[in-house]
Amino acid sequence: MKEALMDKYLRKERLPHIWCAGCGNGIVLSALVEAIDSLDIDKEKLCVVSGIGCSSRAAQYMNFDTIHTLHGRALPYATGIKLANPELTVVVISGDGDCAAIGGNHLIHACRRNIDLNLIVFNNNIYGMTGGQCSPTTPLEARTTTTEEGNISRDFDICKLSEAAGATYVARSTVAHYNHLVNMIKQSFKNKGFSIVEALTPCPVQYGRRNKLGKPYNMVKTLKEEVANKKESKFEIGVLKSYKEPEYVEQYLKQVFREEK
């Protein structure tokens, strides 16, 4: 991250961070900060909400109004913040396990309501900080602490799930496509409604070592090559869905004021 952005947006007294060497979470954090800076969003009108896990620790390093909540409950907290303070830009940071497992029901209904939140999902295909367990996005046959012989459960496609549930902006990128990731996040802020950006990122310690995927550099390179190979790639990057629908908070406030009259 650029030194000027660190000085402006990070709590440097909280550094160094807890992430393992080679983890991509810092790249996603940098992309988020760069997107916020490029849009000239008022720091005093922005709130960052996170759950529990490796990625969720990012909120502690960001110099905004931030709240580190319960496992899987970042979206309900963020919903309450947005309803109480509609003028705020509310960003939610969550991992694949945090938002798609224990927080899966909250994800579905936040999408359904189309509430104006910006969710950034750090997807590393595993529960990293909590022990290396299988997550909802762990690929078939992958080894984790809870699938030592290989995962036999099919994995979620978080973007398809969000599309079907009603999110009005859905995008995916990777830490191997940094400028693209910044752009996807920037576009999410411009959407008036529920926005989700899935950022694919490597976990070299809990996931990479168990699955013999090489060094962090190799994992990032593989990620880039798999996305480029469109015929065999499971994941498409880019804006997957973007359209306009009535936003929940605006509709709610109209109803409240109508009843007061």
Domain boundaries, the chain: 3-260
Residue 16: asked if its preceding bond is cis (omega within 30°), the reply is yes
- What is the rounded average pLDDT of the residues 134-149? 96
How much is the pLDDT for 258?
73
How much is the pLDDT for 232?
64
How much is the pLDDT for 261?
58
Residue 136: asked if its preceding bond is cis (omega within 30°), the reply is no
**Is residue 228's pLDDT more than 90?**
no
Q: Domain 3-260, what architecture?
A: 3-Layer(aba) Sandwich (3.40)
What is the dihedral angle through the alpha carbons of 40, 43, 45, 46, rounded to the nearest 10 degrees? 100
pLDDT (tens digit per residue) in 118-130: 999 999 999 998 8
Residue 67 DSSP code: E
d(CA 254, CA 202) in angstroms, rounded, equals 44
Split at pLDDT 50, 70, 90, the class of 62 is very high
How much is the pLDDT for 235?
81
Task: Check if the beta carbon of residue 143 is closer than 8 Å to that of residue 207.
Answer: no
| Residue tagged 């080894």 (tokens) | 143
**Is residue 240's pLDDT more than 70?**
yes
Split at pLDDT 50, 70, 90, the class of 195 is very high
- Select from 106, 140, 141, 98 the least CA-distant residue to 123: 98
Residue type, 20: C
23: left (phi over 0), alpha (psi -120 to 50) or beta: beta
